[in-house]
Structure 1
Amino acid sequence: MTVVRTVFTAPEPDRGGGREADPVTTEIVRQGLNAAADHMKRSLIRTAFSPIIYEALDFAVAFYDEDMCMLAQAPTLPAFMGTLGFCVRAAVDGVGGPDALAPGDVILYNDPYGTGSHPQDAAMVVPVFHAEELVGYAAIKAHWLDIGGKDPYCTDTLDVYQEGTIFPGVKLYDAGRLVTDVYRMILANSRMADMVIGDINAMVAGTRAGAEALAAIVARHGVETFRRCVARMYDHGEALVRAWFSALPDGVYTAASVIDSDGVSGRPIPFGVAVRVAGSRVEVDLTDCPDQVPGPINCPLPSTVAAARLAIAFLAGAGEQPNEGHFRPLELLTREGSLFHPTRPAPCFLYGIPADHAIELIIRSLAEGVPDSVPAASGGDINSLVWWGNRKDTGAPWADGAPHPVGQGASPRGDGASALMFLSESATRFTPAEVWEARNPWRIERLALAPDSGGPGRFRGGLGLDLSFRCLEDQYLTAALARTELEPWGLDGGLPGRPNRLTVEYPDGTAADYALRTRVPLPEGAVVHLRTGSGGGYGPPEERDPEAVRADLREGYITEEHAREHYPHAL
């Protein structure tokens, strides 16, 4: 099969030269773009209908220049960071290219092979003009509760056509006028049409607010000054990342792991990653993986790009909000027709499972080169649960879904954080129990940090979470858990943490574990126990500070039995 080299950013055109831009003005432009992106984010949150958007923040917002290079992104869903550029390009191509655009256009795009996601992750793109000249794009990509797939959330699809209705770049608004045929098609292909339309209108409002803010920044500084500042901004991001990699020894860094299952065959899926560092250039090689698999864990190229970008930003981004320049030093190797570069119509609903695994494996591979910067493994998954049904009293359809937090890996500098979202969703939020209980037919009977779950070590892994949901009405659940077999690895002598697990306790006293399972019937009275994974430890447990062990005992993070087994020197 063909090996494909993806270069993230073409050379920036010379528009007067970034070196000529005033550094103070450049910083004003950069911070203005970040503030405008946050404005777009807030507009969406305040108008969205679904908790998956306004509570969990399962979306991303960003600006792109006219060459479709990322100007700025608000802190939202990092996993979408590398995919929105693909969405913008494919959406614009779908309506005929930049020459077919006009002020007031809003383009809808959700083809999984262009978004890198399942069809529920839909993109809205608004072109931005200044004095009739195209200067950029405002874009939002957000999760809709349902868009006509075989189920509202799927773990067992066999091709992409089972996964939802696809809009391959169509104008929802044409020069400011609603295209009613497209609007009606969306309504006709959703089980929760009222909520989806509410979220779509919120996305339109958000992208329009962002487009106005971007246009105002361009108008304030003038097109030429703005472009020179953007060129300097990109150059700064590139220099920052190149400096980080220049400090590493040149060489090839490798790591390998195993994905539990593809959701259909039940077979484990091994894969490896190689990171090649040469001077200030880095190449991520994901060709050491199986061919595309029968189940829906194939990861389309845009999300493979996003995984590589996210790993590099985590290590070398210095905590800055990224722009396109940060990714110029990065190249990606994939193999067309493989797990990380599938071809249509391979199913890809659970694309995030291999993407998330690859993120941590890329980071792990560099532990030899930068041991002071690489943490042990986390729980390694977002533990997606999606629930739906019809309300008992009214028959009205309802649905909800959320990611759930895991323990983070310990590092050379300290214990891992407890119960935070996995890196790919690190800016998302954990829905409050009060919101869940007010909206859905559940009762939360347990929500607590899990004692003894963190991997022992000189520095302890972060704790996972124990959650128990009691069903107050009949309903359905799709469980999409990964890393249920693989224990989160420790580093430098640290011990592993616990894997993820979901158990349903039925009213008749029976129980069953589920990892990837679609449409699990939950009768009234059933209890769903979710045990999210923890972080691995760092360093030998016998080197842990005795006072830290005693503090963990006082706080209830570990039990006395656990302390006697792993930290007897502290007792």
Structure 2
Amino acid sequence: MTIVRTTFTEVNPGLGDGADPVTTEIIRQALCAAAEHMKQSLIRTAFSPIIYEALDFAVAFYDTDMCMLAQAPTLPAFMGTLGFCVREAVEGVGGPDALAPGDVILYNDPYGTGSHPQDAAMIVPIFYQPRPDEGHGDEEVLVGYSAIKAHWLDIGGKDPYCTDTVDVFQEGTIFPGVKLYDAGRLVSDVYRMILANSRMPEAVIGDINAMVAGARAGGEALVALIRRYGLDTFRRCVARMYAHGEALVRGWFERLPDGVYRAESVIDSDGVNDEPIPFGVEVTVRGSSVTVDLTNCPDQVGGPINCPLPSTVAAARIAVAFLAGAGEQPNEGHFRPLEVVTRRGSLFHPVRPAPCFMYGIPSDHAIELIIRALADAVPGGVPAASGGDINALVWWGNREATGEPWADGAPHPVGQGASRHADGASALMYISESATRFTPAEVWEVRNPWRIERLALAEDSGGPGRHRGGLGLDLSFRVLEDQYLTSGLARTKLAPWGLEGGLPGRPNRLTVEYPDGRRVDYALKTRIFLPKGSVVHLRTGSGGGYGPPAERDPEAVRRDLREGYITPEHARRYYPHAL
């Protein structure tokens, strides 16, 4: 058994001493603005709605030590993984010495990205020509990397989206760090390989071009910022910026009682074997440091829910940022107080060739469990459970009129857990995808052969409590042409827990109503054939309640009745004191 400890240590300690705090804050905000510029460049040029509508991507800058300078508000699940992507991509092409201005590296190996191969990364090394007065010579200097990781509709897996793979080779074509552009020139062999390994090459190439354009735009913005302040000032201010992020998070944890906090839960299944998978998390607080231990889990499993190390680290990072980040856009400094402990060969640190297409299921579950474990350390400081899943659905087929292939996919919102202070929010994306968007029905219906027949908050779904859980979503699609669907639902058996006497919410559920009248429930299921006239009913999970229902404000109950959030029957059952 090999235990692995992943830590984030200070690079060049003391470099930030004496950096001007005002200049530091200007540079921090400018880095965030540059990342936002990169994000908007991608959105405006992407081909697929999963990128430009759902925002299933992340963009960030990294310095030459692979530390995160800034990330735009996009997909938090990729927050802890892009650094791994950059490091492995650069090593794949021979290291920093093999890089040149104009290079663009493609990388999508699941064991370096932490994701399935469809989540591909484009990395652009950023070079800066120092001014003569800066004392760095006449050669261009590598100053960092811009990186974009985004979901492609298809890259040659056994299906466009898979819940039943048994090894990583079934999940898609792998590019383990290759130059797509070499010193500014397109590498046509790599380009043709991408085209040859996709069912939807036009969509994928359109998104690749958008990713390249966005990463290059980000690089230009970073160079402009460094040119304005000079390389030495920029580096000193970045070091101070990291130190501030570290101090912020350490300040939150040092207010907690030292101790070991634990929580346990169960994953529905691994997608291949219909057996529940229990696991636990242990969170240790010592002074201003925190250790998240995920060794109390099964060995890697036969189905594709294994979670590679980068996404395990991302889960811990998201939980820490959620609790201690004070709403700031994070940088590497925020994660220096964190240590992540894993066991090689296990569910949260699998080794090749274990399948990992649905890595997000244990990762999302771990986020919620880390927060649950700290409920004992922070009484009243954490919320009840949410619907706990992104409820991913991916659709594809060939259009009736033309025979052309099509595909689309999206996450779907869940109810959030109630807290000591308020009811849970209704129908928001789960925390791992909290910056993504719910694709508008109008976009879906224009592009895809289905009709939205119901889209509503689910009455009575929120967990009862002094503060009730947020409502889930009821969504029904009527299928207008024969097509296929992959359901990526998790948390279909485990009801979202309440806290401090609050009651559970409802779990996630997917039901297909076939034209012959059959109704079949699915959770993790690949390539469900949907004949024309079928109706797909998605019922996303809700949030758990907080505090005893008998303590709910009667006016809040009456308001929920007026708004249609609960029915009279629900009120009589859980809130009779208010009637």
Do the two structures share a fold, i.e. TM-score over 0.5? yes
- Counterpart of 1:42, as a letter, is Q
Give the distance between the partners of 1:94 and 1:311, measured in 2 at CA. 30
Matched, 1:125 2:141: no
> What corresponds to 2:137 in structure 1?
none
| Gap runs ≥5 in structure 2 | 130-139
SS state of the match for residue 20, structure 1?
A: coil
> What corresponds to 1:527 in structure 2?
535
- Counterpart of 1:109, as a letter, is Y
Give the distance between the partners of 1:252 and 1:48, measured in 2 at CA. 46
> What corresponds to 1:11 in structure 2?
10
User: Please, which of 75, 78, 82 is the counterpart of residue 77 of structure 1?
Assistant: 75
SS state of the match for residue 18, structure 1?
A: coil
Give the distance between the partners of 2:357 and 2:485, measured in 1 at CA. 16
> What corresponds to 2:65 in structure 1?
67
> What corresponds to 1:212 in structure 2?
220
> What corresponds to 1:149 in structure 2?
157
C-alpha distance after superposition, 1:371-391 (max 9, x if no partner): 222000000000000000000
> What corresponds to 1:35 in structure 2?
33
Q: CA deviation at 1:449?
A: 0.2
User: Please, which of 47, 50, 57 is the counterpart of residue 49 of structure 1?
Assistant: 47
Matched, 1:172 2:170: no
Q: CA deviation at 1:2?
A: 0.6
The correspondence of residues 286-435 of structure 1 with structure 2, limited to 5 A, is: 286-435=294-443
Q: CA deviation at 1:13?
A: 1.1
User: Please, which of 457, 463, 472 is the counterpart of residue 449 of structure 1?
Assistant: 457
Q: Which moved further from structure 2: 541-550 or 127-136?
A: 127-136
Give the distance between the partners of 1:182 and 1:569, measured in 2 at CA. 68
> What corresponds to 2:135 in structure 1?
none
The correspondence of residues 266-277 of structure 1 with structure 2, limited to 5 A, is: 266-277=274-285
Give the distance between the partners of 1:570 and 1:269, measured in 2 at CA. 41
- Counterpart of 1:47, as a letter, is T
Q: CA deviation at 1:194?
A: 0.2
- Counterpart of 1:40, as a letter, is M
C-alpha distance after superposition, 1:173-193 (max 9, x if no partner): 000000000000000000000
The correspondence of residues 529-544 of structure 1 with structure 2, limited to 5 A, is: 529-544=537-552
Q: CA deviation at 1:12?
A: 1.4
Number of residue pairs matched by the alignment: 569
Find runs of 4+ consecutive structure 1 residues off by over 6 angstroms: none
State the Cα RMSD in Å.
0.5
- Counterpart of 2:31, as a letter, is L
Matched, 1:58 2:66: no
Give the distance between the partners of 2:347 and 2:154, measured in 1 at CA. 25
The correspondence of residues 177-326 of structure 1 with structure 2, limited to 5 A, is: 177-326=185-334
Q: CA deviation at 1:91?
A: 0.4
Q: CA deviation at 1:304?
A: 0.1
SS state of the match for residue 19, structure 1?
A: coil
Q: CA deviation at 1:42?
A: 0.0
> What corresponds to 2:566 in structure 1?
558
Give the distance between the partners of 2:542 and 2:10, measured in 1 at CA. 42
- Counterpart of 1:554, as a letter, is R
Give the distance between the partners of 2:41 and 2:524, measured in 1 at CA. 34
SS state of the match for residue 411, structure 1?
A: coil
SS state of the match for residue 492, structure 1?
A: coil
Q: CA deviation at 1:204?
A: 0.3
Q: CA deviation at 1:151?
A: 0.2
Give the distance between the partners of 2:419 and 2:411, measured in 1 at CA. 24
Q: What TM-score, normalized to structure 1?
A: 0.99
> What corresponds to 1:21 in structure 2?
19
Matched, 1:546 2:565: no
Give the distance between the partners of 2:158 and 2:319, measured in 1 at CA. 33
SS state of the match for residue 17, structure 2?
A: helix
SS state of the match for residue 483, structure 1?
A: coil
C-alpha distance after superposition, 1:44-91 (max 9, x if no partner): 000000000000000000000011100000000000000000000000
Give the distance between the partners of 2:432 and 2:212, measured in 1 at CA. 25
> What corresponds to 2:104 in structure 1?
106
| Gap runs ≥5 in structure 1 | none
Q: CA deviation at 1:566?
A: 0.1
Give the distance between the partners of 1:290 and 1:473, measured in 2 at CA. 42
SS state of the match for residue 108, structure 1?
A: strand
C-alpha distance after superposition, 1:288-342 (max 9, x if no partner): 0000000000000000000000000000000000000000000011000000000
